[in-house]
Structure 1
Amino acid sequence: MGTSIFTSCSFSWRNHHHIIPSHRFLSHSSPDKGLSVAKAAVDTRQNGCVEFVDEETEKFSGFLKRRSAIVSGVSLISSAVLGFPREGLAVVKQGLLAGRVPGLSEPDEQGWRTYRRPDEKSGGHGVGWSPIIPYIFSVPSGWEEVPVSIADLGGTEIDLRFANSKEGRLFVIVAPVLRFADNLGDDAKVEKIGPPEKVIAAFGPEVIGENVEGKVLSMGVVEHSGRTYYQFELEPPHVLITATAAGNRLYLFSVTASGLQWKRHYKDLKKIADSFRVV
């Protein structure tokens, strides 16, 4: 036994000289007679239409309605969880990466974008910690923010990570100066902490996870807008570190890469490291 369904057709059907407009006409086919007949009829008496529905078709129609409701529910869940439409994905990403707020500018003529830590971004507001002063840096096209793992180096405050799978990666450590000295006040300067040698010996292990003795290739001191920055290049591993202090925090900006990435993209990696500023 089969069931044929015709909906919203534009033909009419004559039966005993009465014209019945076809409105969602449902018929039941009977294999043994080779005919299509209606076993039961329901007079809707709307717009002069009669709708014929057999028992089996009525059950099938109910199944379709239930199935439609289920599919609609799944679609809503898919929109929110799987990202259709795009807004759903944005909500899930923000939920999974709590505290991460986009801060990238549009690319300039060379394709470089500037990241500024958003004022609204959470993190690092424990006892004895001043609010994190925003910082900025620039990255070429293809670098994107990535989640900060709770498995990062112990005893450090990884505030941000960026990476490009073909060029390298970077991260920002924001550590309390109280870990190094308790008499620097709430407006610490990196030069008050000590000379570059002292700073890299104390905080370098926070970056590379091991003692930096014998690994420092170069050190430098630069000043921007009245703030002093220490710059270091270490090898191995290949890493560029920019250090400064603001409030009662030490900021360590690290740019690192594999040997091949270092060889191919050193110029851009150095430009990224040099662009770091606390504003």
Structure 2
Amino acid sequence: MIGAARSNAPRVGQANPLFKSTKPIEHARFSYKQICRCSADQSEEVTAVSSQQRRRAIASLTAAAAAFTAWQPNNTANAIQGLTAGRIPGVSGPGPDGFYKYQRPEGKSGGHGVGWSEIPRYSFKVAAGWDETPVSIADLAGTELDLRFENKEEGNLFLVVAPVLRFRDVGVNADVRIDELGTPDIIIAGFAPEIFGAPLSDDDVLVTETAQIDGVTYYYWEVKPHHLVAATAVGNRLFMMVLNANGRQWRKAENNLRVMQKSFFVPKL
């Protein structure tokens, strides 16, 4: 009978056999947390070790940097002392006045190309901090440009070596002096377009001087705004050294530039 049928439903308070106890699950959760905690502890230990290694490495680098800094000043002084002399071919010194001396090295090639005979070893004083820079036939002086020097704080210098045939027809073995080629006004006017980029006006030349050094005539000019020029002739060539400065450079280095101008020398053949 339906009313008399046996019921399989559990009694109140009796555990349902279809469900397992939650205690193992709670235990499993507890074990998982413990494992995570252990892993975290291990990670912290690894991180601590890595931090210690980094600190030791930084300390070592700091000590090395301090040692290098302590050594550097004397080494820098030595480098500056030899900045010009020895590093640039032809430069020696400095002398008692603090200037170095440049003498054209034997066999040096300028912008002249092929076919030029050996050029006399001209010389001049150069202040500390000046550097030789490359020459190019694209310059105003073209293939007659032999040398360039520059100091961005003081100015620039270039030297032209030109055949005296520009002024006078002479033989290959001639030994001409600059006063035989023309007056100072004629010489500077003849070179103005290639050394200044334009012809000179009547009032551009501020000072003109002449001098005899070792039996050779020299011309000197001061030209607006801040150009100093020295020139002479030896053999069948005319030599002209030009120094240029802007206003700031002139205020700083006028004395150095004048010393360099007057020191220009070309030996007799």
2:238 to 234, 250, 265: 250
Which structure's CA Rg is the greater one? Answer: 2
- Which residue identity is paired with 2:257? L
Shift in alpha-carbon separation, 1:151–1:139, aligned structure 2, 3 A: same
1:133 to 120, 125, 130: 120
- TM-superposed deviation, 1:184: 6.5
- TM-superposed deviation, 1:101: 7.0
What is the rounded CA distance, in whole Å, between the counterparts of 2:232 and 2:97 in structure 1?
28
Pairing of 1:53-202 with structure 2 (within 5 A): 102-123=89-110, 124=112, 126-127=114-115, 129-183=116-170, 186-202=174-190
Moved over 6 A (4+): none
Moved more, 206-215 or 151-160: 151-160
2:208 to 201, 211, 219: 219
- TM-superposed deviation, 1:202: 1.0
- Which residue identity is paired with 1:121? K
What is the rounded CA distance, in whole Å, between the counterparts of 2:88 and 2:250 in structure 1?
29
- 1:111-154 CA distances to partner (integer Å, 9 max, x unpaired)? 31000001121243755x54311100001110111111332115
Counterpart contact for 1:190–1:244, Cα < 8 Å: yes
Shift in alpha-carbon separation, 1:156–1:210, aligned structure 2, 3 A: farther
- Flag structure 2 segments of 5+ consecutive residues without an equivalent: 1-86
Counterpart contact for 2:123–2:266, Cα < 8 Å: yes
- Which residue identity is paired with 2:218? Y
Counterpart contact for 2:133–2:149, Cα < 8 Å: yes
What is the rounded CA distance, in whole Å, between the counterparts of 2:245 and 2:252 in structure 1?
10
TM-score w.r.t. length of structure 2: 0.62
Report the secondary structure of 1:210's partner residue: coil
Report the secondary structure of 1:131's partner residue: coil
- TM-superposed deviation, 1:241: 0.5
What is the rounded CA distance, in whole Å, between the counterparts of 1:264 and 1:277 in structure 2?
25
- Corresponding pairs, count: 178
Shift in alpha-carbon separation, 1:251–1:107, aligned structure 2, 3 A: same
- Which residue identity is paired with 1:147? P
2:220 to 226, 231, 239: 231
- Which residue identity is paired with 1:216? V
- Which residue identity is paired with 1:135? Y
Shift in alpha-carbon separation, 1:121–1:154, aligned structure 2, 3 A: closer
TM-score w.r.t. length of structure 1: 0.60
What is the rounded CA distance, in whole Å, between the counterparts of 2:168 and 2:188 in structure 1?
15
Tell me which protein shows more helix as a share of its residues: 2
Tell me which protein shows more strand as a share of its residues: 1
Moved more, 249-258 or 147-156: 147-156
Partner of 2:18: none
What is the rounded CA distance, in whole Å, between the counterparts of 2:153 and 2:256 in structure 1?
12
- Flag structure 1 segments of 5+ consecutive residues without an equivalent: 1-99
Higher RCO, Cα 8 Å, sep 6+: 2
Q: Percent identity?
A: 46
Counterpart contact for 1:201–1:213, Cα < 8 Å: no
- TM-superposed deviation, 1:109: 3.5
- TM-superposed deviation, 1:179: 2.0
What is the rounded CA distance, in whole Å, between the counterparts of 1:125 and 1:224 in structure 2?
30
